């Protein structure tokens, strides 16, 4: 087994501390060489940290870790969302199969019209689903930011978001939400 460096050990203990404070099982951590940015995988309960993230100054890195552990608190909801998506797609795809299998009439017209209707319905559902998924994903990000603010303080979390925004990882809604969180205490 590969021996972990001092920094990797430090991250693991940060993850364990944050997880204990948020009352979740500590997620696994995978150190990757890609430059995809930090992320959380609900299926394997695993945080991925890339080299550029590991090179961040310590206070920033702590907030990134806290944010990713924040995602681990959403794991059940993420997995249920994934299961519902899979079930809906399967149910939708099985509909025309059942209709065609049970239809005794092989007239092309009778098959192609409902088939065309199905394709339209499928794309309409996929569009609605995508919009809903984007909304859910944004809500998960805001919630993970809230957890990071809880663990590291909103002022540090906001400074981290602003620094990350210059690298293009952060959308404006997350910055606004963090500023709003800080507003009552900064007066
Ligand atoms: Zn996130």
CA 31–ligand 1 middle distance (angstroms): 17
CA 153–ligand 1 middle distance (angstroms): 17
Among residues 22, 116, 12, 106, the alpha carbon closest in space to that of 65 is found at 12
CA 26–ligand 1 middle distance (angstroms): 16
pLDDT at 167: 75
CA 54–ligand 1 middle distance (angstroms): 16
The pLDDT > 90 percentage for the chain reads 51
Cα–Cα distance, 187 to 173 (Å, whole number) = 22
Considering Cα of 173, then 179, then 183, then 187, what sign does the dihedral take? negative
Q: 38, 14 in Cβ contact below 8 A?
A: no
Phi and psi at residue 11, to the nearest 5°: -65, -45
CA 165–ligand 1 middle distance (angstroms): 13
CA 43–ligand 1 middle distance (angstroms): 15
CA 38–ligand 1 middle distance (angstroms): 8
Phi and psi at residue 143, to the nearest 5°: -65, -40
Domain extents in the chain? 1-182
The pLDDT > 70 percentage for the chain reads 91
Cα–Cα distance, 172 to 161 (Å, whole number) = 10
> What is the DSSP-derived secondary structure letter of residue 46?
E
Structure confidence at residue 187 as a pLDDT band (50, 70, 90): very low
Cα–Cα distance, 60 to 161 (Å, whole number) = 9
Tokens of 30: 């995978």
Q: Which is higher by pLDDT, 61 or 5? A: 61
CA 141–ligand 1 middle distance (angstroms): 5
Instruction: Kindly report the pTM of this predicted structure.
Output: 0.83
Tokens of 108: 């092309």
Cα–Cα distance, 168 to 171 (Å, whole number) = 8
CA 65–ligand 1 middle distance (angstroms): 10
Rounded (10°) CA dihedral 128, 129, 135, 137: -160
CA 5–ligand 1 middle distance (angstroms): 25
Q: How far separated are the first and last CA of the chain, in Å rounded?
A: 52
Whether 171 shows a pLDDT value over 80: the answer reads yes
Instruction: Compute the mean pLDDT over every residue in the chain, rounded to the nearest whole number.
Output: 88
Coil, strand, or helix at residue 31?
strand
């Amino acid at each position: 087994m590969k021996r972990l460096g001092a920094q990797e050990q430090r991250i693991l203990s940060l993850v364990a501390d944050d997880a204990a404070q948020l009352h979740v099982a500590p997620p696994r951590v995978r150190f990757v060489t890609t430059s995809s940015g930090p992320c959380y995988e609900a299926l394997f309960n695993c945080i991925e940290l890339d080299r550029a993230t590991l090179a961040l100054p310590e206070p920033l890195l702590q907030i990134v870790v806290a944010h990713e552990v924040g995602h681990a608190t959403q794991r059940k909801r993420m997995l249920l969302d994934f299961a519902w998506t899979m079930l809906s797609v399967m149910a939708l795809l099985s509909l025309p199969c059942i209709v065609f299998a049970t239809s005794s009439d092989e007239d092309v017209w009778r098959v192609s019209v409902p088939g065309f209707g199905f394709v339209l319905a499928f794309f309409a559902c996929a569009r609605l689903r995508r919009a809903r998924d984007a909304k859910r994903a944004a809500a998960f990000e805001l919630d993970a930011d809230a957890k990071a603010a809880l663990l590291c303080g909103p002022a540090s979390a906001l400074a981290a978001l602003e620094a990350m925004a210059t690298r293009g990882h952060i959308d404006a809604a997350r910055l606004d939400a963090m500023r709003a969180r800080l507003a009552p205490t900064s007066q």
